Amino acid sequence: MAANLLTSVQDAVKREYDYIVVGGGTAGLVVATRLSEDPSVSVLLLEAGRANLNEDSLTMSGTFGKNFFNPDFEWGFMTVPQKHSNDNAFYWPRGKGLGGSSSINFYVFTHPPASDIDAIEKLGNPGWNWETYLRYSRKSERFTPPDAKEAEAERLHYDPAHHGTDGPISTCYPPLRTGWDNLYQDALGNLGLPPANDSTQGDGNASWMATCSVNPKTNRRSYAVEYLEQAGTRKNLHVVVSSPVTRVLFKDEKSATGDVVASGVEFVHDEKTYTARAKKEVILSAGALKTPQILEFSGVGNPEVLTKIGVQPKINLPSVGENTTAPPPELKEPEKYNTLDPITDEAVLKEQLQLYSKEHKGLFLLSMLGVGTGSLARLSPDGAALTAAQEARIRATPAESWRPGVAEQYQLQLDKLSTNAASLEVVSMPVYLSRPNPPAPGKKYFTTVSVLNHPWSRGTIHATSPDPLAPPAFDPHYFEDEFDLQNMVELVKFTRRLAKTSPLSEIISREHNPGPEVQTDEEIVAWVKQFTGSIAHTSGTCSMLPRNKGGVVDPRLKVYGTHNLRVVDLSVLPLHIGAPTQTYVYALAEQASEIIKGVI
């Protein structure tokens, strides 16, 4: 059905649309679909990548990372060398094509803690709180509860009030489970993270079983393209693919309030440049890594950055591309039970692919299930002392030494530290995913993906080349704040303790990474700097904050100084949340759609 919405460039440039949405990823597809619910408005969606509709390798479940570095589906971004991480450049995968990152993500679908969502409102954004988040998250979700007997046996406990039942994104518990997740949860409980329904309550020091965005009827990925499917054959929504937008175009005259007025966008298709025209608004949803670049090429940003790429400044907004927060993970693994490792054997892979395509069964139904979150003080014997030292250091640093608005963000992070709220996450993954020691043939593993959810380092993403199609410079400043590194080191030690804690210890034969040769703090630091990777949740590059506090958009998601240009994607999240980010992006885009429609 969604294929009916595809339009040719020649048709699109002949018309004038009410709304142009830039980027057909997670947020963009929600916004375009919701706006076109009103048959009296016209919407054009421009996506840089291909349509990729009905692409088996995207919709098949259990294919974690399969499309990494595949230019048909993924951008292949790299950070600049990281000064505080041995000058390593980190791989930042992002989805390309309709569905964006929701088409390649690892489809864990969980809520952030309520306090993290309320923090967004506290930073100066009325209406962006847990209550509204939950309303819009429910609107996006179609949850299928587990069978009652199975739920009891496998502890698939949940709060029905936290799930929607008739939204476009299907969610469920992973259709196939590893068999060790109860043991994982018990071991986490023995280390101070007791079982809970989910991550939303209290200080977040807990463990739970995560749901995923998979359709339990088809056992396929459920992702943003479901929204387009809902749009069906609407005549007022046009989708043009393979057309990267290079800049927003503005009218010569300003609005009555003195703001610049967007009139459309410039985009490239088959190496030719075109213009698409908008009557009402332009909405940027190109993701946290690309939206700041489009703003900069449109003349919106820090004049110094713009001048270097040969762009005439229109709006002085130095916060574009700043406040980049990018949490890094660490990996480690034991052996046994249901995992995806056997598919590295050609014969098993063939058999499993057949099983999946014919009966929608087999190992590809596995997903991440057991999750634990905790504060540093809860996870490490040295955590309280390290936390106190960080609190003292931040309090002793004059607020003027940070960029505007960071002091307010740090205050909320300090509140989390002083109440011992969870900021670290350990997720069990049923496959070998770590470096440098390779897996042994014929064995099974699980990896503990360890995540720092509230990093203190702040980075930047800026255009540096005059070519708008060249990637910008991604610089997360990993480990610039030493506390981030200390957290990662303590996470490695915690993961080691977890593996030695009953009942999990009973099923583990040995640790492969970091491996026995990595023991002292210095050795762990070296391993972390060399072998950590990005969890792909970068946010904040066009933060929703007051303008004098580092804001790029206001609480109506409008770019400051503009009359009708908004940003709706993960760029606007001003302070990172303690969870993977897709659930948040769907809720954000649902709320944004109602704002744009004037419903709220």
| Cβ at position 327, least distance to ligand FAD in Å | 11
| Nearer Cβ to ligand FAD (107/478) | 107
Query: CA-CA distance, 408 to 445, in Å (whole number)?
Result: 42
Beta strands 91-92 and 262-269, pairing class: unpaired
| Cβ at position 362, least distance to ligand FAD in Å | 21
Judge whether 106 is annotated as a binding position.
yes
Which residues, including other chains, have CB under 8 Å from residue 359's CB and lie 6 or more apart? Answer: none
Judge whether 453 is annotated as a binding position.
no
291's tokens: 């939206």
Length in residues, the chain: 600
| Cβ at position 106, least distance to ligand FAD in Å | 3
Residues that bind ligand FAD (CB under 6 A): 22-28, 46-49, 93-96, 100-102, 104-108, 244-245, 285-288, 290, 294, 536-537, 569-570, 580-583, 585
| Cβ at position 469, least distance to ligand FAD in Å | 8
For ligand FAD, the nearest residue by Cβ is 25
With beta carbons less than 8 A apart as the criterion, state whether 421 and 375 touch: yes
Query: CA-CA distance, 50 to 47, in Å (whole number)?
Result: 7
The CA-based angle 70-74-75, given to 5 degrees, is 110
Q: Which 3-state string (H, E, C) describes 524-549? A: HHHHHHHHCCCCCCCECCCCECCHHH
| Cβ at position 533, least distance to ligand FAD in Å | 10
With beta carbons less than 8 A apart as the criterion, state whether 541 and 321 touch: yes
| Cβ at position 269, least distance to ligand FAD in Å | 11
Judge whether 245 is annotated as a binding position.
yes
| Nearer Cβ to ligand FAD (96/378) | 96
Whole-angstrom CA distances from 22 to 69, 100, 201, 592 are 23, 12, 36, 15
| Cβ at position 551, least distance to ligand FAD in Å | 18
Nearest Cα neighbor of 219 from 428, 324, 367 is 367
| Nearer Cβ to ligand FAD (130/483) | 130
| Cβ at position 534, least distance to ligand FAD in Å | 9
User: Cα–chain-centroid distance for residue 489?
Assistant: 23
Residue 203 identity (one-letter amino acid): D
Nearest Cα neighbor of 57 from 49, 65, 45 is 65
| Nearer Cβ to ligand FAD (66/350) | 66
Tokens 């003292």 appear where? 392
Judge whether 77 is annotated as a binding position.
no
Judge whether 64 is annotated as a binding position.
no
- Tell me the three state secondary structure of residue 272: strand
The answer for 99, left when phi > 0, alpha when psi is -120 to 50, beta otherwise, is left
| Nearer Cβ to ligand FAD (36/105) | 105
With beta carbons less than 8 A apart as the criterion, state whether 6 and 239 touch: yes
Query: CA-CA distance, 553 to 544, in Å (whole number)?
Result: 5
| Nearer Cβ to ligand FAD (447/501) | 447
DSSP structural state of residue 312? -
Query: CA-CA distance, 360 to 378, in Å (whole number)?
Result: 41
| Nearer Cβ to ligand FAD (139/537) | 537
| Nearer Cβ to ligand FAD (425/484) | 425
Residue ranges at the known binding site for FAD: 105-108, 245
Residue ranges at the known binding site: 105-108, 245
